[in-house]
Copies of this chain bind each other. A is one copy, B any other.
Amino acid sequence: MARYEELAKDIRNQIANSTWRSGEKIPSVRASCKSYGYSIATVLQAYQLLESEGWLIAKPQSGYFVAPQIEHLKLAQLASSPVEKTESKTVEINDILFDVLQRNIDPSLLPLSSAFPEPSLFPLQTLARSLSSASRQMSEDSAIVNLPPGSESLRRQIAQRYIKRGVVVNPEHIVITAGALEALNLSLQVLTQPGDIVVIESPAFYGALQAIERLNLRAVEVKTDPVHGVDLNDLADIVKRMDVKACWFMTNFQNPLGFCMSDGNKRKMMKLLAKHQVSLIEDDVYSELYFGDDHPKPAQAFDDSGNVFLCGSFSKCLSPGYRVGWVVSERHSDKIQRTQLMSTLSSSVPTQLGLTHYLQYGGYDNHLRKLRKSLHERKVKMRQAIEQYFPEGTLVTDPSGGYFLWIEMTNGACGQAIYEAALTRGIAIAPGILFGAQEKFSHHIRINCSYDCEDDVLASVQTLGELAAQ
A residues apposed to B, CB below 8 Å: 10, 13-14, 17-21, 27, 31, 34-37, 86, 94, 98, 101, 104-105, 107, 111, 114, 116, 119-120, 122, 124-125, 127-129, 131-132, 135-136, 138, 140-147, 152, 156, 159-160, 163-172, 178-179, 181-182, 185, 189, 194, 207, 210-211, 214, 216, 319-324, 331-332, 334, 337-339, 341-351, 354
Contacts and interface: CB of A to CB of B under 8 A. Distances in A.
Nearest to A186: B343
Contacts of A19: 156, 159-160, 163, 169-171
Contact of A119 (B124, B141, B160, B207): B141
A145 B105 contact: yes
A314 to B, nearest CB: 12
A147 B105 contact: yes
In the A-B complex, the 7 residue pairs with the smallest Cβ-Cβ separation, listed nearest first, are: A143-B321, A321-B349, A35-B166, A348-B348, A132-B132, A119-B140, A128-B135
A344 B182 contact: yes
Contact of A163 (B14, B21, B111, B170): B14
A342 B207 contact: yes
B350 A98 contact: no
Given A165-B35, A166-B37, A116 B144 contact: yes
A125 to B, nearest CB: 8
Max count, chain B CB within 10 A of own CB: residue among A21, A189, A338, A350 = A350
A135 B348 CA distance: 14
Given A132-B136, A348-B348, 9 more contacts: A14-B168, A19-B159, A104-B147, A119-B144, A131-B135, A142-B321, A322-B349, A347-B348, A348-B351
A14 B173 CA distance: 12
A161 B75 CA distance: 23
Contacts of A127: 135
A156 B160 CA distance: 42
Given A107-B141, A124-B138, A341-B101, A27 B351 contact: no
A412 B373 CA distance: 70
A345 B132 contact: no
A127 to B, nearest CB: 8
Max count, chain B CB within 10 A of own CB: residue among A114, A210, A323, A342 = A342
